[in-house]
């Protein structure tokens, strides 16, 4: 299995929001959580609400177009 992009999750003070996910995205996140737990030696997968924020952070950090827009403003 190839290495996942998301490593260990760092604890931070959370800010709660509510979002709606498609059934497919929810299933994908559940599968990703299981793979992440296995790769990082966790006893159980993290809940999706703990997993989604770091995934979004990685996505934003890797988005070159967003980085260019942010630097311009």
Q: Which tokens belong to 70?
A: 């942010």
7-65 per-position pLDDT tens digit: 788 877 888 899 999 999 999 999 999 999 999 999 999 999 989 999 999 999 999 99
CB 23 within 8 A of CB 29: no
Distance CA 66, CA 64 (A): 5
In the chain, domain spans? 23-72
Whole-structure pTM over 0.85, yes or no? Answer: no
For residue 66, give both structure tokens.
Answer: 């967003």
SS3 1: coil
Cα 45 from Cα 51, distance rounded (Å): 9
């Amino acid at each position: 299995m190839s290495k996942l992009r998301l490593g260990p999750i760092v604890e931070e003070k959370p800010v709660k929001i509510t979002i709606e996910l498609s059934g497919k995205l929810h299933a994908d996140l559940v599968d990703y959580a299981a793979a992440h737990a296995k790769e990082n030696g966790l006893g159980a997968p993290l809940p999706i609400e703990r997993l989604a924020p770091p995934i979004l952070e990685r996505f934003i950090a890797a988005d070159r177009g967003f980085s260019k827009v942010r630097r311009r403003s």
